[in-house]
Structures are given as structure tokens and as C-alpha cells.
Amino acid sequence: MEPLTVKDWMSKNVIGVVQDAPVSDAAKLMTSHRIGALVVFNRKDESFFFKRRTCGIITDTDIVRKVVGKGQSPDNLTVKDVMTTGLITGSPDDTIQSIGQRMIDANIKRILIVSGDKTLAIVSLTDLIDWLGQERSRMREMISEEVATILKNRYASGEQLTAPNDYQNAANWMTTSVVSIRATASAYDAAQLIAERYIGAVPVVSETGVDGIVTITDIVRRLVAQGLDPQNTSVAQVMSTPAICVGAEASLPDVLETLGRNRIKHVPVLDQAGHMVGIISHKNAIQVILRTGMVHYLGKLSKMAPDLAVSQDDIR
């Protein structure tokens, strides 16, 4: 059976912005379409003499790390000032595994899917999680039983894979060095922390535990797009609450379902006493999937059970 390719599930609805637009406009466009990245075009329209071409990509990460986190005004900078160029691209015929591996190897969260000189889609790690997270109890049972058997056989044959049981426990692959922030801190403090630590989210904590989480998406949609002053806006005003967490004993299928069902990119990990002991990002999850070789099997599973696969309307 053929492996699942990008064209089998990608969305072809590409949203773009011109390079001369202010960053604040890009933030508003991301917010209205509920997306985290825009293709950047050199001009608004094209004619016979002047072609419109893709010259970069601007992401919510660019806005937080290069603008808000550095104390700059999104009204005074253009998209061209902060966009990412020198893009890594993929093809509609690439497999999910190859696209995921390419993003992990390049340490990027999004990749442009192109055909010739035409940009067809932006595929992100979140899109992969959205697809993988669609498995319900049926797929989770199949993963737990069938994949475990496959992995054990491959591991026994000497293939260099993660040990079959490693993915079963979140404590084995979560990030343990977690920084946190208080709800009373400013949104600027949170953005600065995200920029300096090169992370995508900061858990918001108090004496009672994890109260919420403030993410790059939160800052762009609830701060920049609304025209608020980062210095005079508290973390409490922009954070996502209540916090969605998983236990340290959660399996990979459980984590995938939590990320996909709630359409989130980060989830704090709690021990049995309710104390935060780590955090898992969509990148962590994809890395584990690639190490274990599970994505190839999941692609076959989706072909066998199309009702469990993500539809194009679900991908953003």
C-alpha cells in the first residue's frame, strides 16, 4: 500500500500578505483566518508585465520574537522587515514522514508546498498533529496493539529505532527544563522570555499549580492584533486558561489526541501530585513519531480507514 502523501490531506487555501504591509496588518490577517503564517508576496496583484511572486513567509513566531519581544511597534515595521526568506520547500508528492523529518532537521515549524513557481500550501507541525490526533479509541487501540508488535519486531531485528516502550510514557520524552511566568507579569515579559529562550509557550503558574499557558499565538491574536500595549497588558489578559495538561504516564496516542482535539501546540505534564514536571510540544511528539517509525504505519492505517483521517476542511 502506498504511503500517505502531502497532497492527500493538505489544504490548498493559501492566505498571503504583501511585503510592504505593516506587521500589525499581518497579525490581524492571521487572527481573522485563525492561522499562524502567511505567504509573503512582492506585490498585491500581477499583470502581464509584473508577476506576483512568493518572496518569503511571515509567522506568528516572527512577530513575537522579532517585534514584541524586542520592544518594537508592529505599526512601525513592515512584513519585509521581519519575514523569513531562504525558504525550505516541499512537493505535494512528498510523504508525511519526509516532510516531518525535513522540518525537524531544519528546526522549522512550517514548510511551503510548491509546484513549479506556484505556492500550493503551507504545511506545519500543527497540521501533522491535527491529522495524527484524529485517531479516536479505535485508532488508539490499533496503535497500542499493532504498532507495539511491529516496533518490537523491528527493534529485535537490530534496526536503530527508539525502544518500543519509550513512547508509551510522556515522562520519557517530555522537555523537563521548563520556564514559567506569573499571571501578573506583563505580556512584554512573556514575549521577551519566549524570544530569549527560543520557545513557543510559557506555562502560567501560581501557588495552586498551573493556571494557564501563554503562547506565541495568544500574543499575536490577543495583543498585537488588538493593538494593545505589551507593557501595560498583563499575562492574565492574553493567556489561554484553564490549562490543558496531561499526566506523566500519558502515552503518545493520548498526547496526540489531546493536542489534536484541543488544537494546541503545547501541553504541560503533571505528576500524580499535580506538580508540573515538564512540557510537551508538537515538535516533541513529531520527533518521537519519526524515531519510532510510527508515521509510516499511521499513513497506511489512514488509507485503510479513511473515515479516521483528517479532511481538508479540518486542516488550517
Largest CA-CA distance found in the chain, in angstroms, rounded:
66
Give the whole-angstrom CA distance, residue 261 versus residue 248: 19
Distance (Å, rounded) from C-alpha 19 to C-alpha 264? 28
Please name every residue paired with 267 in a beta bridge, in sequence order, or none if there are none: 280
Is 3.10.580.10 the CATH classification of the domain at 6-130? yes
Domain pair 6-130 / 134-297, same fold? yes
| 118-124 β-sheet, strand order | 89-90, 110-115, 118-124
- Cβ atoms within 10 Å, residue 151: 22
**Contact call for residues 84 and 62 (beta carbons, < 8 A):** yes
C-alpha cell at 168: 508509551
The residue written with cell numbers 479505535 in the block is: 138
Q: What contacts 278, CB < 8 A, 6 or more positions away?
A: 170, 171, 174, 175, 176, 178, 248, 268, 269
Nearest to 217 by CA among 193, 189, 192, 238: 238
Residue 36 contacts residue 124 (beta carbons within 8 Å): yes
Fold of 134-297: CBS-domain (3.10.580)
Q: What are phi and psi of 250, to 5 degrees?
A: -65, 140
3 state DSSP class of 281: strand
What is the full per-residue pLDDT of the chain (316 aa) written as tens digits?
Answer: 456 788 877 766 789 999 999 999 999 999 999 999 999 998 766 554 456 688 899 999 999 999 999 999 999 999 999 999 988 899 999 987 788 888 888 888 889 999 887 888 888 887 777 666 554 444 455 445 544 555 455 555 555 444 445 556 889 889 999 999 999 999 999 999 999 999 999 999 999 999 999 999 999 999 999 999 999 999 999 999 999 999 999 988 788 888 888 888 999 999 999 999 999 998 888 887 776 655 544 444 344 333 333 322 222 2
Give this prediction's pTM: 0.75
DSSP state for residue 271 in the 8-state scheme:
-
Give every CB contact of residue 197 below 8 A, 6+ residues apart in sequence: 179
As beta bridge partners, residue 204 has 181, 212
Cβ contact 257:129 at 8 Å: no
- Domain positions in the chain are 6-130, 134-297
